[in-house]
Amino acid sequence: QVQLAESGGGLVQAGDSLRLSCAASGRTFSNYALGWFRQAPGKEREFVASIVWSSGRTDYANSVKGRFTISRDNAKNTVYLQMNSLKPEDTAVYYCAAGSFAYRTYASAYNYWGQGTQVTVSE
Contact by Cβ (8 Å): 98, 34 = yes
Kindly state the DSSP code that residue 46 receives in the 8-state scheme: E
Give the tens place of pLDDT for each residue, 14-63: 999 999 999 999 988 888 999 999 999 999 999 999 999 999 999 999 99
State the Cα–Cα distance between residues 54 and 68, nearest whole angstrom. Answer: 20
SS3 44: coil
What is the mean predicted confidence (pLDDT) over 93-111? 92
Kindly report, residue by residue over 23-35, the tens digit of the pLDDT.
Answer: 999 988 888 999 9
pLDDT of residue 100: 85
45, 116 contact by CB (below 8 A): no
Give the other-Cβ count within 10 Å of 59's Cβ: 17
- pLDDT of the residue at 119: 98
At 30 the pLDDT is 82
pLDDT at 112: 95
Q: Band of the pLDDT at 103, cuts 50, 70, 90? A: confident
